[in-house]
Chain A
Amino acid sequence: DAKTTQPPSMDCAEGRAANLPCNHSTISGNEYVYWYRQIHSQGPQYIIHGLKNNETNEMASLIITEDRKSSTLILPHATLRDTAVYYCIVRGNDMRFGAGTRLTVKP
């Protein structure tokens, strides 16, 4: 079973920040939090990952709580092309995908 819980769907207005939550209360100390997205039926696209500290790259920011039991992916200025299914994954020796959050960015 996936080790994460995400809302099944979210909407966001174009140009606004999209904040996608993820709960991973059973995460172990050496497991990373990864975010991927999948647009239509394409292969998943890597977004960002982190262990303990918050991370930022050109695509997004990842905020991990101090107890590491939850995290938030932030897309700072969502565009229509960010409409996709977003997967939060706790990665240990394997990487188990849940059902993800379907983000719809609306004009």
Chain B
Amino acid sequence: NAGVTQTPKFRVLKTGQSMTLLCAQDMNHEYMYWYRQDPGMGLRLIHYSVGEGTTAKGEVPDGYNVSRLKKQNFLLGLESAAPSQTSVYFCASSYSGRANEQFFGPGTRLTVL
């Protein structure tokens, strides 16, 4: 039981490049989330999904897109990376909504030059 895994762990991009971050969970959770964490700050929600085929915007969605084609995977895309998107990205999943805890992945450290 691996829990929540994230790929890749580290990535360096040049401004304007695109990339996709992959999140996978093996707990059969319905809900999945993408957060970003900037230095010295708490996590901020980018997008989330309440089930396969669904996505919704969070607190800071601009510049990102997501897809949930399979229940166990949640992809975060950056179409044209900007230096302001340099951050640590965390994925999380939960069985359902507010009554259940979220389980977090180890994070992806992204640097945009």
Contacts and interface: CB of A to CB of B under 8 A. Distances in A.
Contact of A45 (B45, B104, B107): B104
Contacts, number: 54
B42 A98 contact: yes
A43 B92 CA distance: 9
A10 interface: no
Interface string B93-104: 000011101111
Given A30-B98, A93-B98, A100 B59 contact: no
Contacts of B33: 95
A14 interface: no
6 contacts: A2-B42, A32-B99, A44-B43, A46-B102, A87-B42, A99-B42
Interface of A: 2, 30-32, 34, 41-46, 49, 51, 87, 91-100
